[in-house]
Amino acid sequence: MDFNKIKELREKTGVSITQCKAAMEEAGDDMDRAIEILRKKGEKVADKKSVREIKSGLIETYVHGNGKIGVMLELGCETDFVAKNNEFKDLAHDVAMHIAAMNPKYLRIEDVPEEVIKAEKNIYREQLKDSDKPDNILEQIIEGKIKKFSAEKSLLAQPFIKNPDTTIEGLLRDKILKMGENIQIRRFARYEI
């Protein structure tokens, strides 16, 4: 077992040395596979922790450099200890900055109102009415467009601006694994002049 690889894995993921060592053993010293193993374990840990009560957190504000876009974000966690942690504060700042840049309207895909989805479906039907495709294919195309639209408008489903390989939900799961607490975005507001 190469200790330098374990150290590198820890630096990349922020996960404990013990977890990194176990992941490297399971992956047969393959760094990419070890990262994948840790992410899968992180999802399981995050699912278990997601039922734990949020009692603390912080309000993060972010104003874009030109002063015309501002964001308020409530990021919750279980303890005051984590809420005061610099990494948690950096997470809140990064998510607020992401909201300023990407302008999500909803927190989750499930939060997109049915009337918004109906209106979008009507727009897509109108756009596709002159195509020669059968109705069942048109409906599949429209459903695909609705899924994409909902993901683009939902914060948790958006690719993170600093690392498009992960979503905001994936970013939160990684931080839950690293910090060992349930972390949730409670609410946010974006203002623009």
- The predicted-structure confidence for 156-182, as pLDDT tens digits, reads as follows 999 999 999 999 999 998 888 888 888
Do 132 and 149 sit in the same domain of this protein?
A: yes
pTM as predicted: 0.73
- Report the percentage of the chain scoring pLDDT > 70: 92
pLDDT band at 51 (very low <50, low <70, confident <90, very high): low
The tokens describing 9, both together, are 């894995």
pLDDT digits 0-9 by tens, 53-106:
778 999 999 999 789 999 999 999 988 999 999 999 999 999 999 999 999 999
Integer Cα distance of 173 and 40 in angstroms: 10
Domain match, 7 and 75 both: no
Is residue 70 located within the same domain as residue 158? Answer: yes
Q: What pLDDT is stored for residue 191 in this prediction?
A: 96
> Does the pLDDT at position 41 exceed 80?
no
3-state secondary structure labels for all residues of 135-179? HHHHHHHHHHHHHHHHHHHEHHHCEECCEEEEEHHHHHHHHHHHH
The residue length of the chain stands at 193
pLDDT of residue 1: 63
Tokens representing residue 183 in the block? 């972390």
Residue 14 pLDDT > 90, yes or no?
no
Domain containing residue 23: CATH number? 1.10.8.10
Question: Domain of 68?
Answer: 56-107+154-192
